[in-house]
Structure 1
Amino acid sequence: MAHEKYENLIQKLHQCMEACSHCFDACLQEEDVQMMTSCIRLDRECADICGYLEQAIARNSPFTAELAGVCATICEACGEECQKHDHEHCRECAKACFECAEACRQIA
């Protein structure tokens, strides 16, 4: 199956999607939610593209490489935003995003 070729990427996509979803939820609980709006928005974008790319790989999409390039860009943007914040959930999310971006770039 084609997705076996992408086993590492699938793992990183799933980890990033989970980290972004957790960060999204945790940011909504922060005292100054207004300060977290960019982080929240990018968490959502990143989780969505990671989930979509994971599905595309599963169905052997002919656009996997192109989608991986877009995913890498979004993951990097999310990681850069998350690393601006001192919250543990943001630091963990940034780490997952940067790892996922690297895995995506290897495919793109």
Structure 2
Amino acid sequence: MSHLKYQSAIEKLHECMEACNHCYDACLQEDDVKMMAECIRTDRECADICSFLEQALTRGTPFVSELAEACAKICEACGNECKKHDHDHCQKCAEACYACAEECKKLVA
């Protein structure tokens, strides 16, 4: 099982995907949803790429470096957007995004 060498990344990707999904859902419950539109959009993008990379790592993708580079960029963008908002779910999501981005950077060859 070659994906065991990626176990740390897989865990961070999963944590980030869960945090983004939670933030996305919580943002939809905010009073001013329109103000949260960019946060919601980046949460979706980030959750999707994290989920995809997590799956790709477990099946032994030959595109680890390319996918990890894109994932790191999207995670940072999501973290930067979430950090702008004072909501607890946004702050926790930003932390998960930044941690995931750092882990993804380790995978870039």
Gaps of 5+ in 2: none
CA displacement at 1:33 relative to structure 2: 0.4
- 2:89 maps to 89
The TM-score with structure 1 as length reference comes to 0.99
Unaligned runs of 5+ in 1: none
Structure 2 length-normalised TM? 0.98
Deviating above 3 A after TM superposition, structure 1's stretches of 4 or more consecutive aligned residues are: none
Aligned residues: 108
Find the counterpart in structure 2 of residue 49 from structure 1.
49
Residue identity (%): 65
Matches of 1:56 and 1:98 in 2, distance apart? 20
1:86 is displaced (CA, Å) by 0.1
- Which whole-Å deviations, capped at 9, do the CAs of 1:66-106 have from their partners, x for residues lacking one? 10000000000000000000000000000000000000000
Which residue identity does 2:75 align to in structure 1?
A: C
Counterpart mapping for 1:29-40 below 5 A: 29-40=29-40
